[in-house]
């Protein structure tokens, strides 16, 4: 299949890009890595009249480590850059562990962090990671800038976010987890490189033998990423034992309400949630 005809624009400044989005609104689509948009256009599931390619807009491909409490990942940073990042500490480890699960190698070479969040596939690894870490998503239009918390950014409907048609996702601010944090990521997919059937991201702050705070998010179980609040509560303030991990994993399986599809029934997915949360937590606590 070939895409419907479109006008291709390649702005060289942010102002130019935002101006094009304001001018064309719903008729325009941002082109980042093209790894989701181009297939959708080829299948004629998307028919934008104008493509605004952000490849030449300066500043969007940076990983900013200047602030000691956070790391800001530019929208155009590639999956592969995060897989092989030089970000210190547990955050760098979590990004690397998660990045290698995003699609196949050629997709990770071209696909971008911001594109994944804007596309908002319910089983996308980066969407669950952003939700788990309470990331701040920085958006900008010709009218100004705003910051949205990750869990408010994703609407619980597949491929739907609160981004307005004239808004560009600029970057994502993640907390630079200190050394008291451990991180884990577990995913089940039919084949390596496929989208997850279920995935779990965990970050756990240790206080001696106890868990001070736990952050757990799931992908593949609803229309968007889901924060497993009951599972977090089951673990936070408790001793880090196999029993408390099992209680948290059981709570996660209870609090989700997945639907069945060709990949598995709702019960199968629920059972996978228990297993993926157990694996992610065991990694985080190791
Ligand atoms: C075979 C295959 C397997 C894959 N497997 C996985 C997987 O396992 N996990 C996974 O997470 N992904 C997977 N993907 C998708 C891949 O990760 C994409 O790279 C990603 O979803 C979109 O990023 P992109 O940069 O390619 O965005 P594009 O395809 O260029 O754009 C995607 C959407 O986001 C919008 N957009 C992009 N950037 C911005 C921005 N800065 N501001 C506003 N809107 C923007 C576009 O307008 C478009 O609507 C797979 C893709 C393929 C083809």
For the chain, list the domains and their CATH numbers: 7-53 (3.30.43.10), 63-175 (3.30.465.10), 181-285 (3.30.390.50)
pLDDT at 60 over 90: yes
- pTM here? 0.97
Q: Which of 115, 121, 128, 189 to mutate to test the pocket of ligand 1 (most atoms within 8 A of CB)?
A: 115
- Give the pLDDT confidence score for residue 156 in this predicted structure: 85
CA 59 to chain centre: 20
Among 197, 178, 173, smallest CA distance to 187 is for: 197
Give me the pLDDT at residue 192, please: 85
Residue 1, pLDDT above cutoff 80: no
Q: Sign of the CA dihedral 104, 105, 110, 112? A: positive
Q: Does ligand 1 have an atom closer than 6 angstroms to the CB of 195?
A: yes
Query: By percentage, how much of the chain surpasses pLDDT 90?
Result: 95
Residue nearest atom 13 of ligand 1, based on CA coordinates: 103
pLDDT tens for each residue of 256-269: 999 998 888 999 99
pLDDT tens, position by position, 226-247: 999 999 999 999 999 999 999 9
Q: Is the CB of 116 under 6 A from ligand 1?
A: yes
Ligand 1 proximity of 211 Cβ (cutoff 6 Å): no
State if residue 171 touches ligand 1 by the CB under 6 angstroms criterion: no
CA–centroid distance, 39 to ligand 1, in Å, is 10
What ligand 1 atom has the least distance to the C-alpha of 32? 30
């Amino acid at each position: 299949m070939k895409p419907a005809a479109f006008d291709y624009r390649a702005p060289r400044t942010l102002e130019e890009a935002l101006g094009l989005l304001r001018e064309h609104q719903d008729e325009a689509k941002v082109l980042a890595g093209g790894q989701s948009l181009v297939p959708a256009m080829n299948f004629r599931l998307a028919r934008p009249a104008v493509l605004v390619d952000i490849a030449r807009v300066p500043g969007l491909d940076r990983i900013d480590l200047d602030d000691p409490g956070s790391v800001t990942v530019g929208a155009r940073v590639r999956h592969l850059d995060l897989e092989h990042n030089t970000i210190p500490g547990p955050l760098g480890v979590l990004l690397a562990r998660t990045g290698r699960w995003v699609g196949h190698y050629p997709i990770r070479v071209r696909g971008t962090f911001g594109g994944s969040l804007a596309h908002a596939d319910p089983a996308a690894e980066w969407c669950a990671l952003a939700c788990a870490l309470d990331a701040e998503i920085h958006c900008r239009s010709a009218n100004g800038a705003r910051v949205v918390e990750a869990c408010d950014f994703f609407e619980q409907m597949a491929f739907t976010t609160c981004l307005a048609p004239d808004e560009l996702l600029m970057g994502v601010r993640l907390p630079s987890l200190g050394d008291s944090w451990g991180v884990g990521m577990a995913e089940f997919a039919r084949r390596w490189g496929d989208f997850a059937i279920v995935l779990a991201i965990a970050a756990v702050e240790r206080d001696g033998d106890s868990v001070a705070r736990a952050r757990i998010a799931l992908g593949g179980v609803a229309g968007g990423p889901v924060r497993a609040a009951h599972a977090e509560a089951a673990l936070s303030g408790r001793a880090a034992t196999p029993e408390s991990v099992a209680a948290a994993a059981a709570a996660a399986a209870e609090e989700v309400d997945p639907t069945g599809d060709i990949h598995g029934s709702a019960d199968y997915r629920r059972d996978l949630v228990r297993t993926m949360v157990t694996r992610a937590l065991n990694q985080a606590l190791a």
